[in-house]
Amino acid sequence: MFRGQRFYTFARYAVVVVFSALLAFPFYWMLITTFKQTSDLYNLAGNPFLFNQKPTLANLHLLFFETDYLRWMGNTALVGAIVVAITLLLALPAAYALARLTGRWGQQLGIGIFLTYLVPPTLLFIPLSRVVSILGLQDTIWSLVVVYPSFTVPFSTWLLMGFFKSIPRELEDAAMVDGLTRFAAFVKLVIPISISGILTVVIFTFSLVTQEFVYALTFISPDTNQMLQVGVPTFLVRGDVYFWGSLMAGCLIASIPIAILYNLFLDRFIAGFTVGAVK
């Protein structure tokens, strides 16, 4: 029995080490590549895990000063911020209505709006590309600002609905007895105590905006107006020449901050994804 126990402990650690090495390896490889000289990257004789020549900052220099990387970063941040604002403006009241005001229809409507999250960009991008050009938004980041709430609002409404349901009703009831209207109670009481739920939605929305690929690729063609996630893989490649050092630096720098933030709120995202199958 004791030996069996030890075996399972060992097996568990082995699984954890092997899987995390496999999953994280590409990011480690981005890190190494970022600081290697180009001739070192293309040196077939040397061990690629080591620096065969002196580490260099040239790749980072190229990325930041000779490409539109900083601009793409700015575009992504701007689109992210505006989409977060639109999402909160739409999803907060909608989620509250579903949680408190719509009675037995609330749950049905909530599931309905959650299901629209499943409708993928690859089904809508063709008609939307025409809508975007009719609106005169093509090749600008405003096309994305208009379209991205289509997937951020449904999931955020769903997350916030669950959140509001866990707030005791008596909170608003007492305030309404004291003369506040229901809406005022929502604005002055419910929103302030829901800060952690709102932060969850902010991070989740932002991460969805940085991950979206199809719409950004379809609606925007000039390189200066591009988002990070499309600009790096499409415009850092010139002809058939890959600047691997700068490419990997661009990938790594864009990935890490959002990953750290996402981790902080992971449990809540999962509670949203599990559709109530886990309580």
| C-beta of 57 vs 266, nearer to another protein | 266
Q: Please answer whether residues 220 and 143 qualify as being in contact, where contact means their C-beta atoms are separated by less than 8 angstroms.
A: yes
Q: Which of residues 35-54 bind another protein (CB under 8 A)?
A: 41-42, 44, 47-49
Q: How far apart are CA 139 and CA 265, in angstroms?
A: 33
Binding span for another protein by CB under 8 A among 51-59, 60-68, 77-85, 176-184: 176-184
**By CB under 8 A, is residue 166 in contact with another protein?**
yes
Q: Which of residues 87-116 bind another protein (CB under 8 A)?
A: 89-91, 93-94, 96-98, 100-102, 107, 109, 111, 113, 115-116
| Torsion-angle region of 276 (φ positive above 0: left; ψ -120 to 50: alpha; else: beta) | left
Q: Which of residues 61-80 bind another protein (CB under 8 A)?
A: none
Coil, strand or helix at 237:
strand
**Residue 139 C-beta: closest distance to another protein, Å:** 14
| C-beta of 54 vs 170, nearer to another protein | 170
**By CB under 8 A, is residue 191 in contact with another protein?**
no
Our measurement of the distance from residue 237's CA atom to the centroid of its chain's CA atoms, rounded to an integer in Å, reads 24
Q: How far apart are CA 251 and CA 33, in angstroms?
A: 11
Q: Out of 155, 206, 226, 250, which residue is the one contacting another protein (CB under 8 A)?
A: 250
Tell the burial category of 142 from Cβ atoms under 10 Å away from its Cβ (0-12, 13-18, 19+): middle
Residue with tokens 């580490």: 55
**By CB under 8 A, is residue 33 in contact with another protein?**
yes
Residue with tokens 């499943």: 118
Binding span for another protein by CB under 8 A among 12-20, 54-62, 65-73, 77-85: 12-20
Q: How far apart are CA 34 and CA 256, in angstroms?
A: 14
Q: How far apart are CA 127 and CA 134, in angstroms?
A: 11
| C-beta of 57 vs 213, nearer to another protein | 213
Binding span for another protein by CB under 8 A among 51-59, 65-73, 77-85, 124-132: 124-132
Tell the burial category of 59 from Cβ atoms under 10 Å away from its Cβ (0-12, 13-18, 19+): buried
**Residue 224 C-beta: closest distance to another protein, Å:** 18
Q: How far apart are CA 88 and CA 90, in angstroms?
A: 5
Residue with tokens 């911020």: 81
**Residue 146 C-beta: closest distance to another protein, Å:** 7
**By CB under 8 A, is residue 202 in contact with another protein?**
no
Q: Out of 79, 83, 125, 139, which residue is the one contacting another protein (CB under 8 A)?
A: 125
Q: Out of 65, 179, 238, 239, which residue is the one contacting another protein (CB under 8 A)?
A: 179
Q: Which of residues 127-146 bind another protein (CB under 8 A)?
A: 127-131, 146
- 3-state helix vs strand vs coil in the chain, percent to 5: 75, 0, 25
